Chains A and B, each alone.
Chain A
Amino acid sequence: MRKFRWSHIYLTIVFLLLYLPIFYLIFYSFNTGTTMNQFTGFSLAHYQALFADSRLLIIVLNTFLLAFLSALIATMIGVLGAIGIYYNKKRWLKNTLLSFNNVLLVSPDVIIGASFLIFFTMIGSWFRSFHLGFISVLLSHCAFSVPIVVLMVLPKLQEMKDSMVDAARDLGANSWQVMKDIILPFLTPGIIAGYFMAFTYSLDDFAVTFFVTGNGFTTMSVEIYSRARQGIDLEINALSTLVFLFSLFLVIGYYFISKENRSKRLRKNRLKRKKADLT
């Protein structure tokens, strides 16, 4: 125990530093004053201001709606894509698809944002009714969430035994039934994890949204950016407290989902080992 004391001190410092700014924000959200410099007393005034600020509340709702929808669409495309990649017979094609899949994951946000801006402007020049706004932001969020979903679902597909699909086919299932009754149920944990990730990526995104948002539509990140450029506004602190609590719930939810996945995998490995021992 004594041996690890220094490491524990080090870890404590790192954890403190990681959480300090977040708790700093939360702490000052209860300040009676209007700055983050001096704590003059406890009040919920900034929360009241937040809940009275209908413009900000609409932006928050929009952000969540955007995250919900984009994650949903991205999950559908991503799951189909993962199945497409997995069942691709040609090895080189599989690898090519996988590297294309990862392009958006490794590209800097600015590049994604700028290239989507060119893309949407071009579409806008073809179709007069298309403007930068909710639709362009939604499409970009779907676009950068798809590869995340693919990466969350692929390992599950690799875990699946092909014999199950073969058995279902032998028993007379058509491809739709195989998909609905065998493949999709098996993939569910990966799909849920992918949806979660896509949801949080969308909530978090600033750089891409900033490029494709146009004039009419904003998300929370973009709004915080424009307010932060003007200085401290403790309403933002109140908002960040609520966002932090929400993230906490999401993380806990995600933790239990991934834990369930892991324990299943562990159990399976243990079973395999047992079988190997028996034979």
Chain B
Amino acid sequence: MTKTRKFYTFPYFVWLLLFVIAPVALIIYQSFFDMQGAFTLENYQTYFTSGKYLIMTLNSIWYAFLITLFTLLISYPTAYFLTKLKYKDLWLLLIILPTWINLLLKAYAFIGIFSIDGSVNHFLEFFGLGPTQLLFTDASFLVVATYIEIPFMIMPIYNALEEIDPSLVSASRDLGANSYQAFRRVIFPLSLSGVKSGVQAVFIPSLSLFMLTRLIGGNRVITLGTAIEQHFLITQNWGMGATIGVILIFAMFIVMLLTQEKKGRRIKK
């Protein structure tokens, strides 16, 4: 019996080994080699001593933070109001639908919207603000990235809000809390788990949105993702690319640790 079970799971273990363990090991391994293929610690040295890379990392984290903040500010009320709707399943589906549209197509749409003769500029001109350069600015990068990430923030918050036992809210109301107090003391703390997974789902991809920085940011914004893509596909300096990759993996772990659910604290239904 255990034999057949092992037989069933064999392909899965091969997958784990080849596509989960090996690639992570390889990226760490690669980070210790220079462009000539000689073993070196130089990549890490370059990374930590050159101001260029550190500033880029800080920039990248700052942009990811801003994107996460904006998405959170927009998504929390959206998710909250959604839970109050009739046919909320259907509305949630409509929120999810744009995520099924290819990311590149959405980015491409913004090239049209933000271009120098595009709609936003026509609109601005109408108010006498004249055409301004919108595409290839930091602001346009932030807007598009926020736009793309919004559904990924709404979903976990919505799920967390949906899980809250309505009797808790009615209890707080019975005990004399007004709707603001009920929200602040009961609903918001209980929805934090959703906020955390939303932050996780938005922050990490925001560090690595390289196609947006190219298409919308016009290479003005360089994120960790852009740097990795640059090193791997353009300058062919795989060692340095892998080093930044290792840094990005570290950043990912830190975010995961910070947003981790503390076990046992969650209220069991």
Contacts and interface: CB of A to CB of B under 8 A. Distances in A.
A103 B22 CA distance: 12
Contacts of A28: 112
Nearest to B122: A37
A22 interface: yes
Contact of B233 (A19, A24, A211): A211
Contact of B105 (A25, A77, A229): A25
A83 B248 CA distance: 32
Contacts of A114: 27, 228-229, 232, 241-242, 245
B22 A119 contact: yes
B256 A24 contact: no
Interface string A204-218: 101100110000000
Contact of B81 (A11, A21, A106, A139): A11
Tell me the dominant secondary structure on chain B's binding face.
helix
Given A18-B150, A84-B12, A207-B211, A108 B248 contact: yes
Contacts of B124: none
Contacts of A101: 16, 20
Given A11-B78, A81-B12, A116-B23, A251 B103 contact: no
Given A108-B208, A251-B96, A24 B101 contact: no
B215 A111 contact: no
Interface residues of B, number: 81
B97 A115 contact: no
A112 B26 CA distance: 11
B81 A108 contact: no
A50 interface: no
A224 B205 contact: no
A118 B238 CA distance: 8
Contacts of A35: 112, 117
A42 interface: no
B245 A77 contact: no
B228 A24 contact: no
Contact of B15 (A87, A146, A211, A220): A146
Contacts of A110: 208, 210, 224-225, 228-229, 245, 248
A108 B23 contact: no
Contacts of A111: 27, 208, 228, 245, 248-249
Contacts of A22: 98, 101, 105-106, 109
Interface of B: 1, 4-5, 8-13, 15-16, 18-24, 26-27, 30, 74, 77-78, 81-82, 84-85, 89, 91, 93-98, 100-113, 115, 117-119, 122, 147, 150-151, 200, 204-205, 207-208, 210-211, 214-215, 224-225, 228-229, 232-233, 238, 241-242, 245, 248-249, 252, 256
23 contacts: A11-B81, A37-B118, A37-B119, A76-B11, A77-B15, A107-B252, A109-B208, A115-B26, A143-B18, A143-B19, A204-B103, A211-B229, A211-B232, A220-B102, A221-B102, A221-B104, A224-B102, A228-B215, A229-B214, A229-B215, A232-B115, A236-B105, A240-B108
Given A106-B204, A111-B27, A204-B102, 20 more contacts: A8-B81, A10-B81, A18-B98, A21-B113, A24-B109, A25-B112, A37-B119, A81-B11, A83-B5, A84-B5, A100-B20, A104-B20, A107-B252, A140-B19, A146-B15, A175-B5, A203-B102, A204-B103, A228-B104, A243-B105
